[in-house]
Structure 1
C-alpha cells in the first residue's frame, strides 16, 4: 500500500512517536508492580546499556518491552511495502543492537528479558513466565 503522506508529513509523524511512557510500558509496569514491590522497580536507568525500560536492581534483571512493528515481532511484525529496503535494514540493525545490548548487560551481571507488546495485550501469562524465568536465572547466578 502506498503512503498517502508526503515525506515531510511522514517524518513529522514519526518524530512524534514516544520512546518512554508508552502503553506497552505502562502495561509492563502494572504487571511488574503486581509481581514485585514498587520500590524494587527502576524505570529507564541511564547507566545501563540499551537503557532498559525497567530494572529490578536488587536481583539484576533488565526488562525491555518491544513493539511488534518497531522490533520485528516474528508473529505480528510487518515490513511496510513503501521503502522496504530501509525498514528491512532498520529491523536488522535493531536485532543486532538487541544482541549486543544483551551481551553487555550479561557482562555486567544482569539478566536481560524482552517482552513483546502482544504478550501484554492478550493476557500476561507469557510475559509473567518470561519475567519469572529471568528472575530465577538471576537468583541462581548470584547465589540468592
Structure 2
C-alpha cells in the first residue's frame, strides 16, 4: 500500500482523528444489554498469536468472540462508502481491513472459537440476542 496520503482538508483530518477504536456507542450498547442479561465478558481481549488484534467482546470460557464492526471501516454491504479524495489509497486500505477480518475469523475458528460479527447499524437488542444464543450453544457443547 502506498504511504498515507495527505488529508483532503483539515475538517476531514479532525473527523478521522476522533474516530474511536474501542468503546464505540454501538459496542457499549451491546455490552450493556449483555451485562443486563447476566453475561460476563472481557473487553478488548488480545488474540493469542495475532499481534495488535483484539476481540471487542470476548467470552473466554465459552470461546465466543464478538466484533462490533463499523460500516465504513469494515465495508458493510449495506452502508459502505468510500471517500472521493485519495480513492485508490482508500480502496486498498478497506480491502486490507476486510482481508484482516477474514484472517482473524479463520485464526479464531481454527482455535475452536465461534465468531460473531455485528454491524454498527444493527439493533443492539437483536445483536445481544444473537450473541446470547452463540454463548449458550457453545457452553452446551463444552
TM range (shorter): 0.7 to 0.9
Given the superposition, is the C-alpha separation of residues 119 and 56 from structure 1 closer, same or farther in structure 2, using an over 3 Å criterion? same
Distance 1:61 1:81, change over 3 A: same
Going from structure 1 to structure 2, the CA distance change for 1:102 and 1:4 (only over 3 Å counts) comes to: closer
Deviation at 1:137, TM superposition (A): 5.0
> Which stretches of structure 1, 4 residues or more, deviate above 6 A after TM superposition?
none
Q: By how many angstroms is 1:13 displaced?
A: 4.3
> Is 1:5 the equivalent of 2:28?
no
SS, match of residue 33 in structure 1: helix
CA distance in 1, matches of 2:70, 2:38: 23
Aligned positions, number: 133
Cα displacement string for residues 57-91 of structure 1 (whole angstroms, at most 9, x for unaligned residues): 12110011011111111111111111111111111
Q: CA separation of 1:19/1:131 partners in 2, compared to 1, >3 Å: closer, same or farther?
A: same
Separation (CA, whole Å) in 2 of partners of 1:4 and 1:106:
39
**Aligned partners of 1:137 and 1:85: how far apart in 2?**
42
Corresponding residue number in structure 2 for 1:45? 45
1:64 aligned partner: 67
CA distance in 1, matches of 2:37, 2:107: 26
CA deviation after TM superposition for structure 1 residue 34, in Å: 2.9
- Aligned-residue Cα RMSD (Å) equals 2.3
Task: Say which structure is richer in strand.
Answer: 2
| Contact in 2 for aligned 1:63/1:112 (Cα 8 Å) | yes
Change (3 A) 1:4 1:51: closer
1:78 is paired with a residue whose SS is: coil
| Local SS of the residue matching 1:134 | helix
Structure 2 partner of 1:103: 106
Alignment TM-score, normalising by the size of structure 1: 0.78
List runs of 5+ in structure 1 lacking aligned partners. Answer: none
